[in-house]
């Protein structure tokens, strides 16, 4: 019984062993890491455009308004004013 099983496994594995996977060229596999990962503009010297600065300030303003209303509401509830 074991001999039959061994023979069946050997026969079914033979085609799989004969098939070879195409290997990726070494240049393609290594080419992605040859460049440095530095950004185009260093973050120390990055300046926002006027539109981006206005947009960020506008969004932060509304976050501050919501935070102030929340603090006022919680304070009023705790002090029972």
**pLDDT tens digits, 15-62:** 665 666 655 555 555 566 666 666 576 666 667 788 888 888 888 999
Residue 74 within a domain:
yes
For residue 56, what are the contacts with CB-CB under 8 A and spacing of at least 6? 48
Domain that holds residue 67: 47-81
Q: Taking 60 as the threshold, does the pLDDT of residue 10 lie above it?
A: yes
| 75 or 5, greater pLDDT | 75
Residue 56 within a domain:
yes
Residue 52 within a domain:
yes
Residue 31 within a domain:
no
DSSP 8-state symbol, 57: H
Count of domains in the chain? 1
Q: What local confidence, expressed as pLDDT, does residue 26 receive? A: 54
**Cα distances (Å, whole numbers) of residue 21 to 4, 15, 34:** 29, 13, 26
Residues comprising the chain, all counted: 81
DSSP 8-state symbol, 80: T
Residue 55 within a domain:
yes
For the segment 63-74, the average pLDDT, to the nearest whole number, is: 96
Q: Taking 60 as the threshold, does the pLDDT of residue 8 lie above it?
A: yes
Residue 38 within a domain:
no
Judge contact between 48 and 56, C-beta under 8 A: yes
């Amino acid at each position: 019984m074991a001999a039959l099983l061994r023979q069946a496994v050997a026969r079914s594995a033979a085609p799989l062993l004969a098939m070879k996977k195409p290997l990726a060229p070494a240049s393609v596999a290594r080419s992605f890491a040859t460049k440095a990962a530095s950004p185009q503009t260093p973050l120390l010297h990055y300046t926002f455009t006027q539109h981006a600065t206005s947009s960020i300030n506008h969004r932060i303003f509304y976050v501050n308004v919501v935070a102030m209303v929340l603090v006022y509401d919680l304070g009023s509830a705790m002090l029972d004013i």
